[in-house]
Structure 1
Amino acid sequence: MTIISRLADSCLTVASEEGTTLFDPGFFTFDTDFVDLDDLGEVQRVLITHEHADHVKPEFVRWLIDRGEDVEIFGNRAVADLLRPHDIEVKVDNPDGVSHEDVLHGVLPNGMQPPNRSWTIDGVLTHPGDSHEPGTSAPILALPCMMPWGSMTGAVAFAKRLGPSQVIPIHDFYLSESGRQTVRHLAGGALKAAGIELIPLDWNDSYTV
């Protein structure tokens, strides 16, 4: 049994008998009151997609390390460079049961495209970070839906191209509750027509696979 939980925005946990993995410990989770981190169980490893602050906050990573035992941090070289001054070691390879695809971040308004790592864990979930470039997905795809580098239309097209069985919307913290509901309704309808189920998770919600 695998339990996928959403903390806030793009921060997810995947818990199984082998342990718990946390994706993208960004400031939306650490600096807001939407999530009570004291309720977060022990985390064995942290997978980070790229260096933007909404996906990795050094203080959050340090907090996870200090409260756990032998917590391992994984990311690309840009993430390793970001966290090195904080005396945090980042491994750039894959942990057991995890694969990755190195792609570019979606094009930002300033034209920049930082490196981005899409992670797939246990053949169950793919977290693409801030990119619609990855070419493969596990049966469940964490789908960025509302962001400055893309559109909902682009998100739907990305999911249709990869063809997962289910998607979990992420990267929608900027929206109000009614805005998130609207995105889920519109994207969910378009994806359903393609045989893809949308699984809506609010902050602190979980889904059992």
Structure 2
Amino acid sequence: MRITKFEHACFVVDDGNQSIIVDPGSWTTNLEIPGNVAGVVITHEHADHLDKELLQKIVDKNPDAVVLAHESVTSTLDGCKAMPVVPNEGVKVGDFELEFFGGQHATIAEDMPVIANLGVLINGLLYYPGDSFSLPDDRKIEILALPVAAPWMKYSEAAAFVSSVRPKKIFPTHDAILSQVGKDLIDSMAGRAAEKVGAEYQRIDSVSLEA
């Protein structure tokens, strides 16, 4: 299984036969759309995770792809095969086993509504919480896609999440708002958090991660 990260919160998981795209949002300008997409996972409705024009390009190239998201998202989509999913639900899409967790976006501010958000576990190996630090129940996680910068979080929460999940490998995501200096700082800090739980931390902006 190969994981390729693109800008901000988007990444592609490829098993050599089919692929899954996660969170193709408006801050992802460098996505190389595969021609073997079985499904697209949208964790929540915010534009940095869902760009409908980009999603349409994916579907145009992969008309059989299934878009999986909370009903608050799927109800707004046209021109694609949309499947609403809920927390604690498991579905099979092509070659991929997907399980969903969480339920709510982390709080951004008291005067902003809390929306639905889904974490996703792919093939029992890779977990991504979307815009939250929702735990994947008691699952043993091989690879964690770790959010590292957002108005809804602080770094201490990310470090605590690493300590709770205790994965074997970690790569950073949700980082478009960081300068290069910011990325370097986060990589240093998250790398130390990973070491404490015996995990390997790797930024994969320009390389793929094999699982």
Same fold (TM over 0.5): yes
Give me the identity figure in percent: 29
Once the 2 structures are TM-superposed, how far is the Cα of residue 62 of structure 1 from its aligned partner?
0.8
Once the 2 structures are TM-superposed, how far is the Cα of residue 132 of structure 1 from its aligned partner?
0.6
Q: What is the rounded CA distance, in whole Å, between the counterparts of 1:56 and 1:205 in structure 2?
A: 23
Once the 2 structures are TM-superposed, how far is the Cα of residue 191 of structure 1 from its aligned partner?
2.2
Q: Which of 92, 109, 120 in structure 2 is aligned with 1:95?
A: 92
**What is the TM-score of this pair, normalised by structure 2?**
0.88
Once the 2 structures are TM-superposed, how far is the Cα of residue 18 of structure 1 from its aligned partner?
4.1
Between the two structures, name the one with larger relative contact order (CA 8 Å, sep ≥ 6): 1
* 2:197 is equivalent to residue 194 of structure 1: yes
Q: Which stretch shifts more, 5-14 or 183-192?
A: 183-192
Once the 2 structures are TM-superposed, how far is the Cα of residue 111 of structure 1 from its aligned partner?
4.2
Matches within 5 A, 1:65-80: 65-80=59-74
Note the residue ranges of structure 2 that are not aligned, 5 or more in a row: 86-90
Contact 2:102 2:129 in 1 (8 A): no
Q: What is the rounded CA distance, in whole Å, between the counterparts of 1:71 and 1:81 in structure 2?
A: 17
Note the residue ranges of structure 1 that are not aligned, 5 or more in a row: none
Q: What is the rounded CA distance, in whole Å, between the counterparts of 2:20 and 2:160 in structure 1?
A: 28
SS in structure 1 of the partner of residue 6 of structure 2: strand
Q: What is the rounded CA distance, in whole Å, between the counterparts of 2:176 and 2:132 in structure 1?
A: 17
Q: Which of 49, 59, 62 in structure 1 is aligned with 2:56?
A: 62
Aligned residue number for residue 208 of structure 1: 210
Contact 1:51 1:82 in 2 (8 A): no
Q: What is the rounded CA distance, in whole Å, between the counterparts of 1:102 and 1:82 in structure 2?
A: 21
Contact 2:99 2:121 in 1 (8 A): yes
Q: What is the rounded CA distance, in whole Å, between the counterparts of 1:175 and 1:157 in structure 2?
A: 20
* 2:158 is equivalent to residue 155 of structure 1: yes
Q: Deviations over 1:103-153 (max 9, x none)?
A: 211101234321111111111211110001224452111110110001111
Once the 2 structures are TM-superposed, how far is the Cα of residue 55 of structure 1 from its aligned partner?
0.3
Q: Deviations over 1:27-73 (max 9, x none)?
A: 111xx3xx1x4x43222210110010000111111110101241111
Q: Which of 32, 35, 40 in structure 1 is aligned with 2:33?
A: 40
Q: What is the rounded CA distance, in whole Å, between the counterparts of 2:156 and 2:102 in structure 1?
A: 23
Q: What is the rounded CA distance, in whole Å, between the counterparts of 1:196 and 1:134 in structure 2?
A: 17
SS in structure 2 of the partner of residue 44 of structure 1: strand
Q: Cα RMSD over matched residues?
A: 1.6
Aligned residue number for residue 124 of structure 1: 125
Letter in 1 for 2:145: A
In proportion to residue count, which structure has more helix?
A: 1
SS in structure 2 of the partner of residue 8 of structure 1: coil
Q: Which stretch shifts more, 107-116 or 57-66?
A: 107-116
Letter in 1 for 2:154: S
**What is the TM-score of this pair, normalised by structure 1?**
0.89
Contact 2:121 2:136 in 1 (8 A): no
Letter in 2 for 1:115: A
Which 4+ runs in 1 deviate beyond 4 A? none
* 2:135 is equivalent to residue 134 of structure 1: yes
Contact 1:127 1:143 in 2 (8 A): yes
Letter in 2 for 1:4: I
Letter in 2 for 1:64: I
SS in structure 2 of the partner of residue 174 of structure 1: coil
